[in-house]
Structures are given as C-alpha cells and as structure tokens.
Amino acid sequence: MAALRMTTPRLLVLQALLDDPERERYGLDLATAAGLEPGTIYPILVAFENAGWLRSRQEQIDPHQAGRPRRRYYTLSAEGVAAARDALAASARRRERRATATRKLAW
C-alpha cells in the first residue's frame, strides 16, 4: 500500500467513502458527505487515485443535453478499502493515546 500523510480532511474523505465502499461517488457528493469545501476534495481524490486507493471513470453524458458538466465518479479499490480502514484505525489509536497521556498526573 502506498503511504500517504493522513490529514483531517483526508480522513474525513476516507470515512465518507467507507460509508458505502461499493458506491460510486462524485466530487461534490463526497465533499458534502465529508463536510469539506469542493475545492478541497479534488487534490485529495487525485492523491488517493495516484496511490491506487481509488478507481475513477468519467461519466458518459452530453453536458449540453444534461444541463451540467460531466462528473468523474470515484470508487474505493480493494487496496483502498484496506488502506482507509487502517488509516482510520491508526488515527483513532493516536487520539486515544493523546487522551490517555493527558489524563496522567504530572507528579
């Protein structure tokens, strides 16, 4: 698996994708589900696709007839599902360690 630096926005996107790993999602849909601005989502999707975590396809429509631009749909790859679960679990462990460390007395 390709190692990527996990930021909060990336973790939010992974969580949104894992809500239904088989479902094809487009950028604005994912941005809304993750609670992110649309401009934030596309660099994340490109990074995940370059790492092999996502597959994508361009929608085959006539934009003039549909009255909107073509969408690019993204789906987690098998590697992406495993990587997303690992990344979210690692993040949860880090949060737990930090919470535990702050509960200890200093003296």
Is 37 inside any structural domain?
yes
Domain-embedded: residue 82: yes
Q: Looking at the domain assignment, is residue 21 inside a domain? A: yes
> How do residues 58-95 score in pLDDT, each as one tens digit?
999 999 999 999 999 999 999 999 999 999 999 999 88
Cβ-in-10-Å burial (0-12, 13-18, 19+) of 106 comes to exposed
Residue range 6-18, pLDDT digits in tens: 999 999 999 999 9
List the domain range (segments joined by +) for residue 47.
Answer: 17-59+70-99
In a domain, 29, yes or no: yes
- Helix (H) / strand (E) containing 30: helix 27-34
Domain total of the chain: 1
CATH of the domain at 23: 1.10.10.10
Q: Token digits for 107?
A: 């003296």
Query: Rounded to two decimals, what is the model's pTM?
Result: 0.84
